[in-house]
Structure 1
């Protein structure tokens, strides 16, 4: 029995002993008060007190020993079941033996389940590896040949054929991005990829994400402004957090018109570091704000834009796995703001 258990039972025994003493002394005092002081009654009362205390003390001690024995036996049963040792109680028809049998069965089932889960993870890992390997070369070839066709398009290909070549290249790039995103997501969900969150300046993750969307934003003449103190830190995995921020910023650029603006601001609060990514894009209807983080969900207003609806889902999974969360607010026709909350400590 551990120290906490012993302390608890000792308190119970002490309270029981005090109550017994008070009752016996009170009962004896009441008798003496009722019949008056008499030597014979006094001696009988003393003898009664002694007998009660001896019998009560023996009962309490016996109960304490029995409870301690049962608890120690349970400790041995649990330790033996966890460590795979021989049965402590054998196969006796007792309550403790029945409990030991059920505990062993439960541990066996849990162990079997854990092994199945681990085997399934290994299968998924192999499947993801196979998909990544088997699709990499064909996609690379498609992109390469479409680029070669595009380079030679001015030397004999008609306008329609040139359009087909452009579409092939665009769809190949889209398919490659989708496969890579699904692979990342699968690895993240199955625990193949482990996120290592440490306290780092948040400006580095923001800058890395911005660098990935800057060319696209510049092409659309979209202004990107960053308001972040270099001293602001958060507990996060820089690689994966920048991936999540990139997915949000990529949407901001994609769904903003030419000459739009994107504003990125960070502030440190007591528990969380907050990163706000605001844009002047098409906005999101309030009825869809709860759905935009679902896998493959796309807003009705985005049907004319390229996309598959996995970026925000992946971003949320990455942030949630670090103990953070994402919130969104928007006004249709004016823009959206995505707020990323990361733990400070």
Structure 2
């Protein structure tokens, strides 16, 4: 207790007041002096006992907090009948519970980050290995046509790597919460046109038939740039699934409750066990011929859900996959 400045000051003040009272008592008469001594001693002893008990409780609380700071799993603070200490106990218990929850969340985030970094390294290693192989073949290829073919393959790999890195950066920005969506009214047909614009030439080169049924005048709320990115990622998935000579169909349904876009391809669809995992990050399915990186659909879902919409996928009864993006009114 004597380590505390306030207690030392109080002890000095109490001693001075007690000495003055005793001196005044003995100045009056001996009985008054003895009474003053007994009264000062009783008050001093009572104050010392109660103050020592209070500081003992505070020391126990400090010890428990020190255990928490050294990663103790549990915190135990005895119940106190005193008002101030009881409030302090309650607040410290709530604080430590919150700290423990945050620590658990940080551990999970670290584990998720470690898994994500491992997945990213794996995703980048594949095209880099292929590019190195192509460069070695290019170095030893005497035929001009063969060299041009190898250069085209290398260029495609670097384009894929650029898309992969760009998508990973977008995912990282969304995870960090630094993306501010610009909400406004979007014309549904304009949204589909913006999503399709970079894909029209690849569709033509692969002879993919495109059919759209999006009425004019239908509007949704959202960020046009990010939502067109989401739709484009679904269309890329459908293009890979449909393959050469395939078909893609885009429809829009509007009612008083929601606006829904459905995108269907003519591919083989999904295995039933894959449907719950399609929008998981880095999930590529069981198909060995899958060319994607498992990022596009995860990015699509994050963009749509962050703006109040939903995205689902299922197999069409007549074959192929169907993606549905629904935006409530």
Scaled to the shorter chain, the TM-score interval is 0.5 to 0.7
Q: Deviations over 1:155-203 (max 9, x none)?
A: x644554443233222211111111111100111110212233332222
Q: State which of 80, 103, 107 in structure 1 corresponds to 2:91.
A: 103
Aligned: 1:198 with 2:174: no
CA distance in 2, matches of 1:272, 1:190: 29
Are the structure 2 counterparts of residues 158 and 341 from structure 1 closer, same or farther at C-alpha, using a change threshold of 3 Å?
Answer: same
Please give the residue correspondences for 1:143-292 in structure 2 after superposition, counting only pairs within 5 Å. 157-292=143-278
- CA spacing shift, 1:309–1:101, aligned 2, 3 Å: same
Alpha-carbon distance in structure 2 between the residues aligned to 1:296 and 1:280:
24
Following the alignment from structure 1 to structure 2, what is the Cα–Cα distance between the partners of residues 333 and 305? 22
- Assess if the C-alpha contact under 8 Å between 2:309 and 2:326 holds in 1: yes
Aligned equivalent of 1:68: none
CA–CA separation in structure 2 for the residues paired with 1:216 and 1:225: 15
**Uncovered stretches (5+) of structure 1, i.e. residues with no partner:** 1-91
RMSD: 3.7
8 Å CA contact 1:265, 1:277 repeated in 2: yes
Alignment correspondent of 2:315: 330
Find the residue that maps to 1:165 and give its secondary structure.
helix
Q: CA deviation at 1:94?
A: 2.9
> When the two structures are aligned, how many residues end up with a matched partner?
228
1:94 aligned residue: 82
Q: What TM-score do the two structures reach when normalised by structure 2? A: 0.59
Structure 2 gaps, min length 5: 1-79
Report if the CA contact (8 A) 2:212-2:251 is conserved.
Answer: yes
SS at structure 1 position matched to 2:212: strand
- Aligned to 2:276, what secondary structure does the other structure show? coil
TM, length-normalised to structure 1: 0.56
With 234-243 and 324-333 compared, the bigger mean Cα shift is at 324-333
